[in-house]
A and B are shown apart, each in its own frame.
Chain A
Amino acid sequence: MSTQSVPLAIDVRGVRRVYKAKPNPVTALDDIDLQVEPGECFGLLGPNGAGKTTLIKILTTLLLPTSGTATVFGFDVARQTMEIRRIMNIVSGGEQSGYGLLQVREQLWMMSQFYGLGTREGWKRVDELIEAVGLSEQRNQKISQLSTGQRQKLNFARGLLNDPWIFFLDEPTLGLDVSAARAVRELVRDWRAAVPGRTILLTSHYMAEVEELCERLAIVDRGRILAIGSPAELKRRLQRESIFRLELDRLNGGPATLAALPGVVSAVVPSRDDAAETADRQTVLVNLVLTDDAALGPVVSALTGLGAHIVSLQKSEPSLEDVFVELVGRGFEEGSAGGGKTASGSGTPTGSGTPTGSSTSATSGTPTGSGTPTGSGTPPGSGNDTTPRPSTHPNLPIGEQLERDEPYEPSEPVGSAR
């Protein structure tokens, strides 16, 4: 059957979702339009509170839209909930569901019953999936004794029990170590490839993960979609500007100092996977987006004035992270509790009150959301700690960094995933 005869996997039109809250209602989604083709892996990128999870909850029938319509493979999320539940599944990062006294096999078997698998069929399916996600050694272990990564593998096995046509993945590799995350991505890719039409909606904080898995993605902020396209299309948006990768011995004042210079669109300390190569050298990496090459001169002069020495300078292609910062006007965690990783170079406070003294990136872009200052924040660029922490992710709260074993690494095919 060709995909033309099948309705859109996801068709969201004019969806708005408002939560009752005091003193004012909160608009989580504001007039969202989104179409995902059958067979696509579609990514949603956005900072915390952007509305990604709300959209997933609407599509998985957990929430009703306040207005607008949404369908999943032609089934209306408001009226045809059971039909949707029969063809989808969802896995969220950090999910702690289950009953501690049950063993891994038993927990999965119990869930298989909720999807109507026969008793023996359920046990067989459970054993297959336990093998596939690499939980064979823990199959008879109580789930209360599983580590965070093992829990997430269990969640993945649960998500595949009913062989869904559409798989919603909300931060699926959160808390997984490198090899486990890689195995999970491999599993997802193989599962999708096995049957044409299988669709994935993925949210992730790991831009490289979204870039690796998804054909298209949307950048979401403050309940609105700011841009949709393939990673390559989105990156081409920045091609009109010049992008340089600077390695410095130090940077007093942080990237915000550079972001404030004329001709500088943004100055960002790259995420830890990009920065890993310089971690041993105790230098500072800065990704600079300039209006044109001519703006580089004043930057070099300013650095000299600040006493910084350039270790290396490289002109580079824009990354998805550059696109994100350009569109959203800040890094991932800003705007969420415990965040505050980005300093605004435009002087517009965008944080949620987290002191920018811990910031590691800056942008000169005007916020592209509602255009209003969202934080009670500290003035930007004040006392930024510009020294990147080796092996840590600048876009993650410290607490979260401590829970992670390893930085993100793009995957390679691994046999263990099967």
Chain B
Amino acid sequence: MSVAPDAPSIYVHRRTASPAAAAAWSPRHQLATNLRSILGRAYPRLIGLRREPSWLLFEILLPFLTTSAFVFVYRALQAPPEYVGFVVLGGAMTAFWLNVMWMMAAQLYWEKDQGNLDLYFTAPMSLMSILLGMAIGGLVATCLRAGVVLVIGTLLYGVVFSIDQWALLIAVFVLTLVALYGLGMVLASLFLLWGREAWHMTQALQEPVYFVSGLNFPVGRLGALGAVAIGIIPLAVGLDGMRQLAFAGSSANIGTPKPEVEALILVAMAVVFIGLARFMLRKLEWLARNEGRLTLRGN
């Protein structure tokens, strides 16, 4: 089909010979579109850091007060000094957990409510790119928040780290985030499927998850319960691994697997959660198209 010779560029952006030619994308084009989609969806999260400075209050100051309370309790009880470091590290990781729960798990549900989900479904890219964009945008933004908590806590309370294996520490940190955000991607699909029920369940589980993850104490102290948490909650196993590596030789690190083992557990978790997220998204799209209940608002 020929283009009108005087057609302005606004009406003829990408000149394709026919609909069939326009629909034939090379694998490279498909990959590039998915990568661009990740970048596009990450953008609002990154720009939000600048646009909505309320995060300084809600995601740094308020969680830091909880961390500080535990620091004062440990000091009053004359606990080993590493405990203060444990709490500060836990406080920093809380930012990631909050981000996963409220900005990953709940996000697709919100997207549906706002009408964005229809647009994602009709765009020529994988929904996995949207979830990855959300995850990467959230992760980068939260790294900044967690870093601020860690630095302030360390300076304010005089935390002394003892790190022998930097590479392993960084690997455990990265794996923790991959597994954690993989879990967030799975939860995002579940939230969308179950709607408000999932919402209520998360609210009900928030404090128990905080507790069994050992955000404010070594999870090994929980005995069998701690071992179970390490087996299923990325935050629990990742935090324990990082504490063992950041405070090497501390007598407070007891009753949990070695960091190398925990790194392997995190790898397994990352593979399972991301695979599950992919499966859930396919299931979700099938349900959306078959039953029409996911893209229709109010359902």
Contacts and interface: CB of A to CB of B under 8 A. Distances in A.
B119 A64 contact: no
B18 A197 contact: yes
B288 interface: yes
A6 B19 contact: yes
Contacts of A42: none
A64 B290 contact: yes
Interface string A322-349: 0000000000000000000000000000
Contacts of A101: 44, 47-48, 51-52
B13 interface: yes
Nearest to A94: B115
A309 interface: no
Count class of interface residues, chain A: 35 or more
Contact of A62 (B22, B39, B51, B121): B121
Interface in B1-60: 1-4, 7-14, 16-20, 22-25, 29, 32-33, 36-37, 39-41, 43-44, 47-48, 51-52
Contacts of A1: 1-2, 17-18
Contact of A106 (B8, B29, B37, B43): B43
B48 to A, nearest CB: 6
Contacts of B120: 114
Given A61-B122, A115-B124, A166-B19, A195 B44 contact: no
Nearest to A101: B51
Contacts of B7: 193-195
A13 interface: no
Interface string A185-216: 00000110111110000000000000000000
Contacts of B118: 62, 90, 97
A115 B22 CA distance: 12
Given A97-B115, A102-B47, A196-B1, A191 B37 contact: no
Contacts of A38: 1, 19
B207 interface: no
B295 interface: yes
Contacts of A110: 40-41, 43-44
B119 A116 contact: no
Contacts of A111: 40, 119, 123
Contacts of A166: 19
Interface string A115-145: 1111100000100110110000000000000
B40 A165 contact: no
Contact of B121 (A61, A109, A163, A197): A61
B46 to A, nearest CB: 11
B23 A194 contact: no
Q: Point out which of A86, A128, A163 has the most chain B C-beta atoms below 10 A from its C-beta.
A: A86
Contacts of A128: 9-10, 13
Q: Point out which of A110, A132, A158 has the most chain B C-beta atoms below 10 A from its C-beta.
A: A110
Given A6-B1, A194-B3, A96 B115 contact: yes
A195 B12 contact: yes
B33 A115 contact: yes
A84 interface: yes
B114 interface: yes
B249 interface: no
A106 B39 CA distance: 12
A117 B36 contact: yes
Contacts of B75: none
B3 A19 contact: no
A194 B3 CA distance: 6
B19 A197 contact: yes
Contacts of B18: 1, 6, 197
B4 to A, nearest CB: 5
B292 interface: yes
B116 A195 contact: no
A274 interface: no
28 contacts: A1-B1, A6-B18, A62-B122, A64-B290, A83-B23, A85-B123, A87-B22, A96-B114, A97-B114, A97-B116, A98-B114, A106-B44, A110-B41, A111-B40, A114-B36, A114-B37, A114-B123, A114-B124, A115-B123, A128-B13, A131-B10, A166-B19, A191-B11, A193-B7, A194-B4, A194-B8, A195-B11, A195-B12
Interface of A: 1, 3, 6, 9, 19-20, 38, 57, 60-64, 73-75, 82-90, 95-99, 101-102, 106, 109-119, 125, 128-129, 131-132, 158, 162-163, 165-166, 190-191, 193-197, 418
Q: Which 7 A-B pairs have the closest CB atoms?
A: A113-B40, A116-B33, A194-B11, A194-B7, A73-B19, A114-B123, A83-B23
Given A163-B13, A196-B2, 5 more contacts: A1-B2, A83-B24, A95-B115, A110-B40, A113-B37
